[in-house]
């Protein structure tokens, strides 16, 4: 078994921030045990992850498998995402070492190239069947978009399903892979199975939300979209809110935009707030819309040409809402920006 320090280092190899998960999200259940150390340097390298000892051990005449292990632990002891990656040599010395392939994949992820990392993850799992539950993580990397993976993506999810048939992550991820390949009925079945096991699974709910939005004859999309909103990404929320606007479901679109605003980055937050203002106008919430436009233009005066008209429209709607409806001789009310501020 790995030492606590080794476990910590392996866990720290999660570098690829764009992915929702990595195959290294949790420590693999087991790893090949190092061979008996041939010297103090080898022992210090393997057991203590001492980098200088690993460098000394690398210079010793060792059997190929033991030299491969020294190179593996040298990488583990060095700086994360180091350009000095001895893993290719380790794989050449011991082509059956699952940990070498696993760490090679993680090293590739440091460069942001998930496509190139995927074959090394798969090879590591093939060599160590105890790691089969990690097929789900490989599948999730593929689901982010991997043109070169089209021929193996469904097979990978089938292997994940064999390893963990009741895992909602597997069912929802497989559903998304099926949906991407336009296998809608099969995807729908996977999403429903995921929700049976976890009724609050946002990924599965979002999948069904998308299917039902596109196929009104299937039934109401609302329950699935409502379940999805608290757990999906800001980009997915923005896309969903736009679709809901097209359906004229402004109240649910507002909910989606509000959620997106709370979790989005600075630039995305601006965009989502402006989109929310447009929804407010559809909902006859002109005062709320005007406040958003006012705040935006105060910090982005250069955008006045694009957003002054919507702002003026919102102010006009506020003014109309304040006019007395029965006393037609009453003077008109002029709305000021001060009235837009909360009491």
Q: Per-residue pLDDT tens for 116-150?
A: 889 999 999 999 999 999 999 999 999 988 888 88
Q: What's the start-to-end Cα distance of the chain, in Å? A: 62
Give the Cα separation of 75 and 77 in Å (integer).
5
Q: Check residue 109 and give its pLDDT.
A: 85
Q: Among residues 137, 157, 154, which one has the least CA distance to residue 120?
A: 137
Do 58 and 14 lie in a common domain? Answer: no
**Res 1: pLDDT:** 39
Nearest to 103, CA basis, from 130, 129, 68, 133: 68
The total domain count for the chain is: 2
Residues 6+ apart with CB under 8 A from 262: none
What confidence category does residue 38 fall into, taking pLDDT thresholds of 50, 70 and 90?
A: low
pLDDT value at position 52? 83
Q: What is the mean pLDDT of residues 21-36?
A: 46
Question: And the tokens for 255?
Answer: 């909910």
| Backbone dihedral angles phi then psi of residue 39, each to the nearest 5 degrees | -160, 170
Half-sphere exposure of 145 toward its Cβ, with a 13 Å CA cutoff?
3
User: Of the candidates 86, 115, 141, which is a domain's last residue?
Assistant: 141
Answer yes or no: do 44 and 125 share one domain.
no
In a domain, 54, yes or no: yes
Q: Are residues 28 and 51 in the same domain?
A: no
Q: Same structural domain for residues 90 and 50?
A: yes
Query: Is residue 72 domain-resident?
Result: yes
Residue 216 domain-assigned (yes or no): no
The answer to the question of residue 19 being in a domain is yes
pLDDT band per the 50, 70, 90 thresholds, residue 84: low
Q: pLDDT at residue 339 above 60? A: no
| Residue 11 shares a structural domain with residue 50 | no
63 plus 78 within the same structural domain: yes
Give the structural domain span for 63: 37-94
Residue 74 located in a structural domain: yes
Query: Per the domain annotation, does 102 fall within a domain?
Result: yes
pLDDT at 92: 92
Asked if 307 and 297 count as a contact pair (C-beta separation under 8 A), the reply is: yes
Q: Does residue 9 have a pLDDT over 70? A: no
Farthest-apart Cα atoms in the chain, separation: 102
Overall average pLDDT of the 86-93 stretch: 88
For residues 87 and 102, state if they share a domain. Answer: no
Whether 24 is covered by a domain: the verdict is: yes
In a domain, 247, yes or no: no
Nearest to 214 by CA among 192, 174, 243: 243
pLDDT of residue 83: 54
Among candidate residues 141, 168, 202, the one where a domain is terminated:
141
Q: Are residues 26 and 47 in the same domain?
A: no
pLDDT beyond 50 at 12: no
Go through the chain and tell me how many residues it has: 343
């Amino acid at each position: 078994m790995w030492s606590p320090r080794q476990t910590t280092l392996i866990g720290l190899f999660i570098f690829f921030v764009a992915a929702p998960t990595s195959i290294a999200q949790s420590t693999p259940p087991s790893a090949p045990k190092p061979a008996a150390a041939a010297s103090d340097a080898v022992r210090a390298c393997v057991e203590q992850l001492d980098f200088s000892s690993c460098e000394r051990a690398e210079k010793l005449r060792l059997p190929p498998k033991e030299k491969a292990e020294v190179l593996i632990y040298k990488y583990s002891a060095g700086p994360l995402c180091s350009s000095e990656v001895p893993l290719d040599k380790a794989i050449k010395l011991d082509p059956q070492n699952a940990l070498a392939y696993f760490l090679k994949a993680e090293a590739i992820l440091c460069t942001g190239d998930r496509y190139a990392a995927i074959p090394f993850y798969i090879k590591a799992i093939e060599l160590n069947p105890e790691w089969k539950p990690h097929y789900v993580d490989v599948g999730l990397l593929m689901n982010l978009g991997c043109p070169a993976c089209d021929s193996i993506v469904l097979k990978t999810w089938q292997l994940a399903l064999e390893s963990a048939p009741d895992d909602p992550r597997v069912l929802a991820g497989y559903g998304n892979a099926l949906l991407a390949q336009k296998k809608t009925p099969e995807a729908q079945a996977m999403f429903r199975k995921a929700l049976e096991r976890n009724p609050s699974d946002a990924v599965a709910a979002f999948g069904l939300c998308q299917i039902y939005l596109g196929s009104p004859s299937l039934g109401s999309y609302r329950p699935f979209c409502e379940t999805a909103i608290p757990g999906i990404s800001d980009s997915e929320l923005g896309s969903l809110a736009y679709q809901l606007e097209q359906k004229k479901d402004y109240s649910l679109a507002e909910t989606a935009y509000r959620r997106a605003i709370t979790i989005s980055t600075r630039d995305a937050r601006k965009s989502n707030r402006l989109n929310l203002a447009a929804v407010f106008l559809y909902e006859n919430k002109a005062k709320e819309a005007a406040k958003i436009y006012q705040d935006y233009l105060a910090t982005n005066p250069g955008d006045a040409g694009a957003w002054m008209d919507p702002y003026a429209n919102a102010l006009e709607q506020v003014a109309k809402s304040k006019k007395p409806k029965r006393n037609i001789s009453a003077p008109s009310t002029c709305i000021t920006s001060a009235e837009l501020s909360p009491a």
